[in-house]
A and B are shown apart, each in its own frame.
Chain A
Amino acid sequence: MARPNWASQAARVAWKDLHIEGRSREVLYTMGFMAALVVLVFSFAFISGQEVTVGPDAVAGILWVAVLFSGTVALSRIFDRERESEAIRSLLLSPVPRSAIYAGKLAATAVIMFLVELLLTPLLAALFSAAIGPHALWLGLLLFLGTVGFCSVGVIFSAALLRARSRDALLGALLFPIVIPVLLAASRATATLLDPAAPDLDPAMFWTRFLVALDVVFVVVGLWSFEPVVMGE
């Protein structure tokens, strides 16, 4: 039997994770609930009196902070499963290139996060009367790019933290300083798209391109460093 190529191996790793998630829906529900709570916490903090609208800057910020915080939950849970019954050992012993395992994990986590974001964004638009309609597709692209950037770093750290006791506390502490440019680019672009008074969409275009460049850099560093990082497992 011919050995499957790299892409199909990566797809199988991703499919395995999505299949497990499809059965339990654990990450989807806990992450979705967490994201909705972050949005609600911000609502209680920002809204006062009869005024229910906040500026597009704040809405974009709330959206991305919710994505980042809830994404941390998803990342740590996706690798938690590999710890049960030492599944990670079998995964790493299988004749699959480590980079394909990385790509598979990245794809699975990004898909789960993206599904949550697709539900979260309309909720946010409803709560803050934000106009997501005019640039819905562009917004979707931004969510996708931002999620890939976040996950490409997160998967590496989450894998390396597999056996650390203070895993949950450390993941956020390590991840957030690195992904600040992702947050900055994504929230600036989102704010421009949500602002009906924005004179032009040039900033959104710039930040979208910047996100693409960021994703390329992070994914390349991730593919390259995943193997030595998980070597001792």
Chain B
Amino acid sequence: MSSRMSSSLKSSTAFVVGLLLTMHGFFVVTFLVANAPLEKTMGIVQKIFYFHVPCAWLLMLSTFVCAGGSLAYLFRGSERGDRLALCSAELGVLFGLCVMVTGPLWARAAWGVFWTWDVRLTSSLLLWLMLIAYGLARRYGGEGGRRLAAAMALFAAADVPLVYLSVNVWRTLHPTTKVVSSLAPGMRLPFFLSLAIFSALWGVLLTLRMRVERAHARLVELTIAVEDAEGRSP
């Protein structure tokens, strides 16, 4: 019991530290991003980059965490894995939405169009659609919905490199850019800090959402226990 308490205390401490870090980080990063040097050709529009790329990274991370959780649920029956998969898929949909909103805004300013079938855009879109499909399977899949969604997550993770490769060859005409490695020195600190803060936010949100799911599972258990007890002694 005491080890359980100490581990929950440890996770609470980590959660509070993460929360404080995220809260402070957003002020610091906003300040740094505002003061970062302006990009020569795109100007102020390039600042979207500091939010767009971390969101895209979290979309990717969510997919793989979702697949990891699904794997644990499918093959070891881990309820925790199932909750982790659900919560990270939801966060993936959320951060994917940020990618899908900030991406076209940036594209419109940089390329003059809202959408091009660029490899990164297209594969992010497909990844996002898979996570939405995961949510649909979970919610409307009936009795086998959880297992169905877990299978969906496994196929999605196996699909990621295939999607990237196929779209890349499909659109070979489009120039591939290496944005991050060509960042100006003044932009690096705000970018990597922004990446870290966004990841911390993801961790905080995931912890919160997992707690809600755990409480929900416990509530269902208790309700069933109460109904059983009432059924036995009318």
Q: Please give the residue numbers on chain A whose beta carbons come within 8 Å of chain B beta carbons, in ascending order.
A: 153, 156-157, 160-167, 169-170, 173-174, 177-178, 180-181, 184-185, 188, 206, 210, 213-214, 217-218, 221, 225, 228-233
Contact = CB atoms under 8 A, between A and B. Distances in A.
B47 interface: no
B144 interface: yes
Contact of B166 (A163, A167, A185, A232): A185
B150 A229 contact: yes
A181 B136 contact: no
Contacts of A185: 166
A181 B166 contact: yes
Contacts, number: 98
B85 to A, nearest CB: 13
A142 to B, nearest CB: 15
Interface stretch (B19-27, B151-159, B222-230): B151-159
Interface centre among A169, A170, A178, A231 (most CB of B within 10 A): A178
A180 B133 contact: no
A160 B158 contact: no
A225 B170 contact: no
Given A170-B137, A174-B133, A221-B158, A210 B165 contact: yes
B163 A164 contact: no
A206 B74 CA distance: 35
A178 B152 contact: yes
A177 B166 CA distance: 14
A206 B163 CA distance: 15
Interface of B: 74-75, 126, 129-130, 133, 136-137, 140-145, 147-148, 150-152, 154-156, 158-159, 162-163, 165-167, 169-170
A156 B152 CA distance: 9
Contacts of A156: 151, 155
Nearest to A174: B133
B137 A217 contact: no
B151 A225 contact: yes
A217 B136 contact: no
Interface centre among A164, A206, A214 (most CB of B within 10 A): A164
B27 to A, nearest CB: 38
B74 A229 contact: yes
B75 A228 contact: yes
A218 B169 CA distance: 20
Contact of A173 (B75, B136, B159, B169): B136
A114 to B, nearest CB: 22
B144 A232 contact: yes
Given A165-B142, A229-B144, A173 B162 contact: no
Interface centre among B75, B136, B142 (most CB of A within 10 A): B142
Nearest to B155: A178
A156 B144 CA distance: 12
Interface centre among A213, A229, A232 (most CB of B within 10 A): A229
Contacts of B169: 206, 210
B158 A217 contact: yes
29 contacts: A156-B151, A157-B148, A157-B152, A160-B151, A161-B142, A161-B144, A161-B148, A164-B142, A164-B143, A169-B140, A170-B140, A174-B152, A177-B126, A178-B133, A178-B152, A180-B163, A181-B163, A181-B166, A184-B170, A185-B166, A213-B162, A214-B162, A221-B154, A221-B158, A225-B74, A228-B147, A229-B144, A229-B148, A232-B143
A180 B142 contact: no
Nearest to A164: B142
